[in-house]
């Protein structure tokens, strides 16, 4: 669709909003006796397009506006949204009363984007429950053990390719988010699709090309699409404007379904995500009784809801949708975490040295045997470092919940009704940087998560993978990726600052995720 059409859609949104919606809800929180940030109306849209604030800035602003309030109000354009900044209220609403708040707000529905709309992140109600319980057995510790060799293989491939590039004098300084994205794309291609690619040697491969397109969130076109979908999805549907291009959807659908068909016909078994989805389709993917493994502090536990059995039949498109979101979430959020970990190790060489010593000790204990999933779980300081990276730099700065039926909140002796279809937000970024919960929160300090100190972390103030039954289903996989790649990187390289390394980092505005101005640059020095 041409740029002119986007401008027409934006203009229509502007005038419809101005005429019909600007004053509709302005007294919503006042009537409930809740302190709130006054609606900024069209100024909020202007801010979005004039690049005034980054997402972390916005989240911190919400959190700090009414510091003495456990719950307050903000406006998403003209839409009232509750802001929860009390850990006990988060537990009450997102966990204990989950049946009232089980859904995320959905921007990309099945009608707008069939594949993304059918993914776990977009599904709602009973269909979400059924899909969550269907997929839950795919992300247990046992399944991670089966996939670990694929991850380790990509990690070793990454290191060998980087060595060659450095030895040949082609590169020494690396933008770490770009480096991390290449690793995570190769890893997801292997673990999800059973396809071998090397984005370092061939950055124009289809998976890396599409990953770049998916994360290009700063263009005017993307922001217009996002605003239109957020405010007026019916208008976007009428113009047949999807957030993702038709080529991307076609690529994933064909890659997934063709692979499943080939494996079915030839009896190929490979312990990856495609295989798990094929089992799910047949109803053979179930939870197994397995010994409890000591896993990372940040690992989220599956709720009983996720472990329930269901008899829903899924079609090929339903399953292809899960592989798509696994690809998107698996490379972008993990690459973001890796980038910040590389940065922190570069500017904190004493922490890097201690982690390297633990890696050497682990290598000694392996005595020439390959690294295993179980062994990497025994690395306590590695887990402390990763946990602290996720505290200081949570890849999802905010999460939300939608009220699915009227809810009465007993709040400080008052009863507040949250009506159906209203939502509340949890400012994860701000909780992680609140000095009331983390002393000197801007300091990178892995000792917060040692055996003694981790017991003092207040419940529901650490939420890098979300909270409640709707938390991130892939936390084990994400942690496995991060720990494995840094094991091999630090075994072979020292990560150092360069002239391009910016301290402190600054975030770009007008960006959906965590985008750093001028990138995160480090040097890799072979050992």
Average confidence (pLDDT) over 43-61:
71
Q: Which residues touch 26 (CB under 8 Å, ≥6 apart)? A: 38, 39, 78
HEC assignment per residue over 451-503: CCCHHHCCCCCCCCCCCHHHCCCCHHHHHHHHHHHHHHHHHHEEEECCCCCCC
Binding positions are: 472
Average confidence (pLDDT) over 95-100:
96
User: Rounded to the nearest 5°, which phi and psi values hold at 374?
Assistant: -60, -40
* Res. 223 pLDDT band, cuts 50 70 90: low
Residue 23 has pLDDT above 90, yes or no: no
Residue 409 has pLDDT above 80, yes or no: yes
DSSP 370: P
Residue 87 has pLDDT above 80, yes or no: yes
* Res. 17 pLDDT band, cuts 50 70 90: low
What's the chain's average pLDDT? 87
Cα three-residue angle 154-157-161, rounded to 5 degrees? 140
* Res. 19 pLDDT band, cuts 50 70 90: very low
Asked if residues 39 and 27 have their Cβ atoms less than 8 Å apart, the reply is no
Q: Per residue in 464-487, pLDDT tens?
A: 999 999 999 999 999 999 999 999
Q: What is the CATH number of the domain that holds 506?
A: 1.10.630.10
Helix (H) or strand (E) holding 381: helix 380-392
Residue 40 has pLDDT above 70, yes or no: no
Question: Six-digit token pair at 53?
Answer: 């604030």
Average confidence (pLDDT) over 214-228:
63
What total number of domains does the chain contain?
1
Q: Largest Cα–Cα distance of the chain, in whole Å?
A: 72
Pairing of strands 79-84, 423-426: parallel
HEC assignment per residue over 146-209: HHHHHHHHHHHHHHHHHHHHHHCCCCCEEEHHHHHHHHHHHHHHHHHHCCCCCCCCCCCCHHHH
* Res. 510 pLDDT band, cuts 50 70 90: low
Residue 76, strand partner residues: 79
Binding positions for heme are: 472
Least confident of 233-247, 292-306, 314-328, 498-512: 233-247
Structural domain containing residue 420: 3-526
Residue 46 has pLDDT above 60, yes or no: no
pLDDT > 90 fraction of the chain, expressed in percent and rounded? 56
482, 501, 498: which is closest to 490 by C-alpha?
482
Q: Which residues touch 292 (CB under 8 Å, ≥6 apart)? A: none
Range among 27-36, 60-69, 307-316, 384-393 with highest mean pLDDT value? 384-393
The DSSP string of 98-143 is GGGS-B---SS-TTT-HHHHTSTTT--HHHHHHHHHHHGGGGSHHH
Residue 76 has pLDDT above 90, yes or no: no
Question: Six-digit token pair at 392?
Answer: 């200081």
Residue 1 has what pLDDT? 46
Q: Per residue in 281-300, pLDDT tens?
A: 888 887 776 666 678 899 99
Least confident of 15-24, 341-350, 388-397: 15-24
Least confident of 289-298, 309-318, 504-513: 289-298
Better-scored residue on pLDDT, 280 or 524? 524
Residue 208 has what pLDDT? 87
Helix (H, G, I), strand (E, B) or coil at 44: helix
Question: Six-digit token pair at 161?
Answer: 């390719």
Asked if residues 362 and 379 have their Cβ atoms less than 8 Å apart, the reply is yes
* Res. 15 pLDDT band, cuts 50 70 90: low
Average confidence (pLDDT) over 54-77:
90
Residue 526 has pLDDT above 50, yes or no: yes
Asked if residues 416 and 118 have their Cβ atoms less than 8 Å apart, the reply is no
Residue 254 has what pLDDT? 81
Asked if residues 253 and 36 have their Cβ atoms less than 8 Å apart, the reply is no
418, 417, 420, 442: which is closest to 429 by C-alpha?
442
Q: For 243, what's the count of Cα atoms within 13 Å in the CB-facing half-sphere?
A: 24
* Res. 4 pLDDT band, cuts 50 70 90: very low
Q: Per residue in 486-502, pLDDT tens?
A: 999 999 999 999 999 99
Range among 78-87, 193-202, 233-242, 243-252 with highest mean pLDDT value? 78-87
Alpha helices in 194-272 (DSSP H): 206-214, 220-231, 233-238, 246-266
Better-scored residue on pLDDT, 20 or 84? 84
Instruction: Give the rounded distance of the alpha carbon of 516 from its chain centre.
Output: 16
**Distance separating alpha carbons of residues 264 and 250, to the nearest angstrom:** 21
**Distance separating alpha carbons of residues 18 and 406, to the nearest angstrom:** 29
The pTM for the full model equals 0.91
Residue 222 has what pLDDT? 63
Average confidence (pLDDT) over 419-439:
97
Cα three-residue angle 395-373-198, rounded to 5 degrees? 65
Least confident of 1-15, 308-322, 498-512: 1-15
Average confidence (pLDDT) over 56-64:
91
CB atoms within 10 A of CB 502: 14
Average confidence (pLDDT) over 433-460:
97
Residue 365 has pLDDT above 90, yes or no: yes
């Amino acid at each position: 669709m041409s740029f002119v059409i986007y401008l027409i859609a934006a203009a229509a949104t502007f005038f419809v909003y101005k005429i019909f919606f600007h004053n509709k809800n302005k007294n919503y929180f006042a009537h409930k006796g809740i302190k709130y940030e006054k609606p900024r109306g069209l100024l909020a849209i202007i801010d979005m397009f004039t690049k005034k604030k980054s997402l972390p800035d916005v989240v911190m602003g919400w959190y700090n506006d009414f510091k003495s309030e456990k719950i307050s109000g903000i406006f998403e354009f003209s839409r009232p949204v509750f802001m929860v900044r009390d850990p006990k209220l988060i537990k009450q609403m997102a966990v204990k009363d989950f049946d009232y708040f089980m859904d995320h707000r959905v921007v990309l529905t099945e009608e707008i984007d069939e594949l993304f709309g059918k993914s776990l992140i977009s599904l709602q109600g009973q269909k979400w429950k059924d899909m969550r319980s269907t997929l839950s057995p795919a992300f247990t510790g046992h399944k991670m053990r089966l996939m670990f060799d694929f991850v380790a293989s990509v990690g070793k491939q990454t290191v060998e390719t980087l060595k060659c590039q450095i030895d040949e004098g082609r590169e020494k300084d690396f933008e770490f988010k770009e480096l991390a994205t290449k690793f995570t794309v190769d890893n997801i291609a292997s673990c999800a699709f059973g396809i071998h690619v090397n984005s370092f040697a061939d950055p124009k491969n289809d998976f890396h090309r599409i990953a770049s397109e998916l994360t290009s969130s700063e263009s005017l076109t993307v922001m217009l699409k996002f605003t239109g979908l957020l405010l007026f999805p019916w208008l976007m549907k009428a113009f047949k404007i999807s957030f993702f291009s038709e080529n991307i959807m076609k690529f994933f659908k064909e890659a997934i379904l063709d692979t499943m068909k080939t494996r079915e016909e030839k009896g190929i078994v490979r312990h990856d995500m495609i295989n798990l989805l094929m089992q799910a389709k047949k109803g053979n993917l179930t939870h197994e009784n397995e010994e409890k493994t000591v896993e990372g502090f940040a690992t989220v536990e599956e709720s009983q809801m996720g472990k329930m059995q269901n008899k829903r039949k899924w079609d090929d498109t339903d399953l292809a949708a899960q592989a798509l979101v696994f690809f998107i979430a698996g490379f972008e959020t993990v690459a973001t975490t890796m980038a910040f970990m590389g940065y922190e190790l570069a500017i904190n060489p004493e922490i890097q040295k201690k982690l390297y010593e633990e890696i050497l000790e682990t290598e000694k204990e392996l005595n020439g045997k390959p690294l295993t999933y179980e062994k990497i779980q025994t690395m306590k300081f590695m887990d402390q470092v990763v946990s602290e990276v996720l505290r200081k730099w949570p890849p999802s700065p905010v999460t939300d919940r939608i009220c699915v039926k009227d809810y009465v909140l007993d709040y400080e002796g008052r009863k507040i009704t949250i009506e159906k279809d209203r939502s509340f937000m949890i400012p994860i970024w701000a909780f992680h940087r609140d000095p009331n919960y983390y002393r000197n929160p801007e300091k990178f300090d892995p000792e917060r998560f040692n055996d003694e100190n981790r017991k003092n972390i207040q419940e529901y103030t650490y939420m890098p993978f979300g909270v409640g039954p709707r938390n991130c289903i892939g936390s084990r996989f994400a942690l496995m990726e991060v720990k494995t790649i840094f094991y091999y990187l630090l075994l072979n390289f020292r990560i150092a600052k360069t002239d391009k390394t910016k301290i402190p980092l600054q975030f770009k505005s007008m960006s959906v995720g965590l985008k750093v101005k001028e990138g995160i640059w480090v040097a890799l020095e072979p050992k």
